[in-house]
Structure 1
Amino acid sequence: MNLLDVIEDRHGKKSTLITSQIPVEDWYDIIGEKTIADAVLDRIVHQALRVELFGDSLRKNKK
């Protein structure tokens, strides 16, 4: 099962949480095939509630 299969199976039926450190605008390059990227992003991005976090890391420096 690949990402497109998971998204198609859940689209319009169930919530899906996706996290990434890669900006959405770079997903086309990561997915590779334009047709698959269009299908995945059409189902994910257009109905998504996006939360983008900015700022310095809150992890403690281990020095």
Structure 2
Amino acid sequence: MIDDLGLAPMTDAERRDLLEVLEERHGHASTMVTSQLPVEHWHEQIGDPTIADAILDRLINNAHKINLSMKGDSLKKICRLDLKDRL
């Protein structure tokens, strides 16, 4: 599970580590990725175009994309308010 991909720009070491992990899993295991950044912006956010191509090739091909959107207050905020009322 890769949570919040693209939250911050990646360093060269992070790009290479991610590519290595995805390379090992590619064709052998599923990888779930969450991101607040639209897929169209991942390449730019990853940085190095050559490594970004390789990473996205392994992530996007044969992927199932599920878009979740939330309107209104975040669930964390709602739960925090509910917890405050109980204390």
Q: TM-score range by the shorter chain?
A: 0.7 to 0.9
In our comparison, the structure showing a higher alpha carbon Rg is 2
Residue 16 of structure 1: aligned partner: 31
Instruction: Spell out structure 1 runs of 4+ moving beyond 3 A.
Output: none
Q: Structure 1 unaligned runs (5+)?
A: none
Q: CA deviation at 1:55?
A: 3.4
Deviations 1:38-63 (A, max 9, x none): 0011111121111011231452285x
Paired residue secondary structure (2:62): coil
Deviations 1:4-55 (A, max 9, x none): 0010000000111111111111111111000001001111112111101123
Residue 51 of structure 2: aligned partner: 36
- Structure 1 length normalisation: TM-score? 0.84
- Give the number of the structure whose residues are more often helix, by fraction: 2
Paired residue secondary structure (2:27): coil
**Greater shift after overlay, 23-32 or 51-60?**
51-60
Q: Which has the higher contact order (CA 8 A, sep 6+)?
A: 1
Q: CA-atom RMSD, angstroms? A: 1.8
Q: In the comparison of the two structures, how many residue pairs are matched?
A: 62
- Structure 2 length normalisation: TM-score? 0.63
